Structure 1
């Protein structure tokens, strides 16, 4: 487990944009015996979440947020080949970001950890339309579609994608799991949009994937149903983002 003082030592140079100092903290952490997957789970991910929180609260500048995000992505790229490799599970997962999602790092971390855990992975990233994702699902036929999103405005588009997949019903065993700040801040949103599961963290993503009993009930899998969110839904989502 990564100690909290290491998190603080990493966050400070991250906000300064000091790439070398950040690399030193990560290298020292791994030299102390902490494996790469723990660095992903207990250093990079929580610091990523903290950067997002600080940015949303206007406690850091846009420049600091950009510097921190790019350093984190560089670190993750360097650590990827140091992750352990477990035996193949003969299961496939496609990981994508909600449309217009600018923060791909969380999805990239999840994709890397799935690959480390023995899954066959396709990481689509962001910037794709629902048509693009739908066509890929049709071709690749994954066991799980993992959707990552951070902004409230993305919820309707994610719902439309899920509804379209359900309406075709060509993949009745496909499980759809969501993650990211959008779903962390709006309790129950993942159920409302018809997903089969929700992961608040990268560690939970692997746990949810391993639990094959976690499938949306028929009521939540019904497309074009009336939304159950109260009339003040927008305020709830907006309040969760504060």
Structure 2
């Protein structure tokens, strides 16, 4: 299937590894010019070179911290007119909701709500003028199925979800879409951290903790980053112009609700 986005400019945030890099790879394979972002310039350039070698795509980088005003300004300056924006950032830590401090809440809101909102504000007006824009926010299953130990993630990302839903109706007529991808149990470094945390809490091996978590997934396996990235690439495509304001779950069928 030709997604119709060859030659489009794509900015993928927090993309030196994990889901961000997987999404950047899928877009590069579709012929997009990709800008990678991360905080560690050395790691970032290594990922970029690997992506160039693998896909032959034009890949640039911008080493910048999404969570700072200066970092976001550097990102905008490096890729001022993207056709595609994939918002991604490290998730806040799990923990006891009653013990989170003000600083914890502010950090979660800055990284998982304000940073992507401010990039949407920076780029979507230009997308509207050019009559093409695709924004995909990598959020979390916790937006629709909150758990008490993930309240930092739930609260901040629900705010981003509401913002994007609100503006999606306004910009749809200009062929600009905003959608959210909600991962659950995709096999990345984040899940390795969650498995190790579970093992420590339960006093079991990491292998046993992984089996326990796997059994909570309807598909009885973890998803691959490539499966997640394929969903992202489709939502970024020319073919997905009639899909906007949606929360698309990539969770192996685990979510039990209807909406």
TM bucket (normalised to shorter chain) is 0.3 to 0.5
- Give the number of the structure with larger relative contact order, counting CA–CA contacts within 8 Å between residues 6 or more apart: 2
TM-score of the two chains, using structure 2 as the length reference: 0.40
